[in-house]
Chains A and B, each alone.
Chain A
Amino acid sequence: MAATTIATEAKTTHSTSRRRRSVEGKPFFAVAFTALFFVLLYVPIVVVILFSFNSKKSLSVFGGFSNRWYVQFFNDEGLQSSLRASLMIASIAMVGALLLGTMLALALERVSSRPARAVGTVSLVPLVTPEIVTGVAALLFFTGLGLKLSLVTVIIAEITFSISYVAVIVRGRLSSMSGEVEEAARDLGCTSWQALRFVTLPTIMPALIAAGLLVFALVFDDFVLAFFTTGVDPQPLSVRIYSEIRLTISPAINAVGTCMLAVSVLLVALSLVIPRLFGRKDSSLDLISGG
């Protein structure tokens, strides 16, 4: 056990794992395929951005540049209140999921009793459950208790299903961090709580940032769960988008989409920059992709 831990440690700290020399001979197929993949991935993004500046109210004919859809978006009280609702939901859900998910990750990594393992398994179930199941469950839970659906119920549901993501990402980071550093701190006189605060938490900070940003983005874009658990106005933005898409030709939607894209670019950039501010070399993206 210790040997593999040391080996993993060596790997993660040794520079060759980060700057490995590439395999000799670039296979044309894989690279070309990947290029095609990225093109297809970004085609709708380009379309959305382009047509968000369309002067015509059309989604297939581009008539020239205009910012009328952005003006419409920013003046649309309904869309704006939905945007505010979504931002609030995502922020609160992020904080809640971070708190509970980190607690869960710390506990699962250090406690190996059977109840703990059971909780660990249960906490992974939301990750692989189709959203319709989680949506239905959340809906029936709240209404079965006679609770009125509101932004609070949306937030509770979103936290419940985000805890898994946080736990997985933080656990990934924790498992590559050996417990010996904590032990050393405690040998030097720290209490468990101090060891946690001053040693463990700073070490897993990139994971927390990555997990937090991931949760924010997932919750902000989440549609299915919000769809089931929204009751009163204002609806979250994703549910509004769903309604608009299904009911009207709405080029203003492209303006909304472009703004959301800008926000997501910002979030990803943050997740790359912030760990470096803490002087860490590993990037949060590694944690998301390695999680």
Chain B
Amino acid sequence: MTNSNSAPEPTVRRRDFLRGSLGLGAAAALAGCGFSGDTPAPAASTSPSGSAAPSESPAAKAVIDGDLVYFNWAEYIEPTVLEGFKKEYGVKVIETNYDTYPGMLAKMSSGNQYDVVLPGARFVEQLRNQNMIQRIDKAQLKNANQSFGWGSYFDNPWYDPNSDYSIPFSMYTTGIAYRKDKITTMTGSWADLWNEEGKGHIYVLDEADEAMGMAALLLGLDVNTANPDDLAKIKDKLISQKPYLRAYSTDDINNLAGGNAWIHQEWSGDFLNFINYTAEDPKIWEYIAPKEGMPVNSDAWVIPANAPHPGTALVFLDYLLRPENIIKNIEYLGYPLLAQGGEATYAKMVEGRPSLAIDLKNIDDTKVYRNHTPADTAARDTVWTEVKAS
């Protein structure tokens, strides 16, 4: 596929932002709370259904009840899909963007009211536990059968039992991208990131979860381990890698395009995006699904408990689940959307590259990144800091 793809080219890719280093994270995370250490109060009083714990209140009905206040990554929905929604239902879409998940959390906690938000899986769990999102009544969605009931893993995902509070949207895996014309000694394992031929041209993702997860899988450990012995082994493994590395970077598309990278720990969606839109010669690039396993992550739509127009939100989610919209979004994003209508589209996009194929019925959820206790988070974080600083 050449660069002349007719779909509008997304200039911003979601995955590029999935690291906390863009400033808005901590900044917004601290806003509006001082350092009292209190849990942010769920804005229960402003929920349209009033009264007790918002998650218990009767779910909204799928009727338009105002404009859509939309909170998401930038350019994460195909533009004509959004336009189509505005025209068909005669509502405005008021869009704000976040560029880190912690930033998203903070804005939601500081009293801002949104109708739909798209958190990552881990954060859906956090939002549920903090009673910040409302139950979604599937019966309200005519197209619910696109997402549910056909055997997808996401009928009952790890972060939201029975997907009661969320509608799954997209997912990605993490593997290795490499240049066939420069490297001939790949073995299909995470150990390829220590490849001699590629020494000095290898990149690892600058994210604690991804780097440590990769080392954990290579060592046969759990990707989420916080066991001190495990962590020590992971740390040594990562430090042993440094002489081979060019850099830690999440700029995985630019690194491939710039010619500095011959082997790159890579997000599946970004790889697809790169070869479809940017690569000068897509044929020299290959993507490996390492045999020790690939980390898997996903995101899902939620409706905040204090949403001003939950009815419109439901209509919007239903609209997104129409097969034609699913297809448009997949082509725009390059990620497999977690809906039946899109499987064929995605399969066609990754034709000839089986390592990018995703089977929604068989998701290995031992490889997802989960939430940790504060102590475990600190322990893992110390390892990452020490690796980067050494």
The residues of A with any CB-CB pair to B shorter than 8 Å are: 78, 139-140, 142-149, 227-233, 235, 239, 242-243, 246-250
Asked if B185 CB lies within 8 Å of chain A CBs, one says no
Report B-chain residues with C-beta under 8 Å of the C-beta of A232.
28, 107
Which B residues from 88 to 109 make CB contacts under 8 A with A?
96-97, 99, 107
A146 touches B33 (CB 8 A): yes
Question: What's the nearest-Cβ distance from chain A to residue B343, in Å?
Answer: 29
Question: 14 more A-B contacts (CB under 8 A) besides A149-B31, A249-B253, A249-B254?
Answer: A139-B26, A144-B34, A146-B32, A146-B33, A146-B34, A149-B27, A228-B23, A228-B27, A231-B27, A232-B107, A233-B97, A243-B22, A243-B99, A247-B17
Q: Spot the interface stretch: B8-16, B145-153, B375-383.
A: B8-16
Q: Are A229 and B97 in contact (CB under 8 A)?
A: no
Whether B26 and A248, one on each chain, are in contact in the complex, defined by CB atoms closer than 8 angstroms, is no
Contact of B24 among A78, A146, A147, A231 (CB under 8 A): A231
In the assembled complex, which residues on chain B have CB atoms less than 8 Å from the CB atom of A233?
Answer: 96-97
Asked if A227 and B23 make an inter-chain contact with CB atoms under 8 angstroms apart, the answer reads yes
- How far apart sit A248 and B255, CA to CA, in the bound complex (Å)? 10
Residues of B33-56 at the interface with A, using a CB-CB cut-off of 8 Å, are: 33-35
Contacts A149-B28, A248-B254 given; does A239 touch B34 at CB 8 Å: no
Of all chain A residues, which has the CB nearest B21?
A246
Count B interface residues, CB 8 Å.
Answer: 29
In angstroms, Cα B254 to Cα A37, docked, is: 30
Q: Which single member of B23, B107, B253 contacts A230 (CB below 8 Å)?
A: B23
Q: B residues bordering A, Cβ < 8 Å?
A: 11-13, 16-17, 22-24, 26-28, 30-35, 74, 96-97, 99, 107, 110, 251, 253-254, 257-258, 278
Q: Is the CB of A139 within 8 A of B257?
A: no
Do B31 and A148 have beta carbons less than 8 Å apart?
Answer: yes
- Give the 8 A-B CB pairs with smallest separation, nearest first: A143-B30, A146-B34, A247-B16, A227-B23, A148-B31, A149-B31, A149-B27, A148-B32
Which of chain A's residues has its CB closest to B30's CB?
A143
Q: How far is the CA of A230 from the CA of B98 in the complex (A)?
A: 13
Contact A143 B13 (CB under 8 A): no
Decide if B27 touches A247 in the complex (CB within 8 Å): no
Expressed in whole angstroms, the Cα–Cα distance for A11 and B16 within the complex equals 58
Knowing A227-B23, A230-B23 touch, does A248 contact B16 (C-beta < 8 A)?
yes
Question: A78: which B residues are within 8 A, CB to CB?
Answer: 74
Q: Can you sample 17 A-B contacts with CB below 8 Å? A: A78-B74, A143-B30, A143-B34, A145-B34, A148-B32, A149-B28, A149-B31, A232-B28, A239-B23, A246-B22, A247-B254, A248-B11, A248-B12, A248-B16, A248-B253, A249-B254, A250-B11
Q: Is the CB of A229 within 8 A of B12?
A: no
On whether the beta carbons of A246 and B251 are closer than 8 Å, the reply is yes
The reply to whether A144 and B27 contact each other, CB–CB distance below 8 Å, is no
Q: What residues on B are CB-neighbors of A144 within 8 Å?
A: 34-35
Chain B residues near A249: list those with CB within 8 A.
253-254, 257-258, 278
The answer on a CB contact under 8 Å between B251 and A247 is yes
* Closest residue on chain B to residue A61 by CB atoms: B280
Smallest CB separation, A21 vs chain B (Å)? 52
Cα A246 to Cα B278 in complex, Å, equals 16
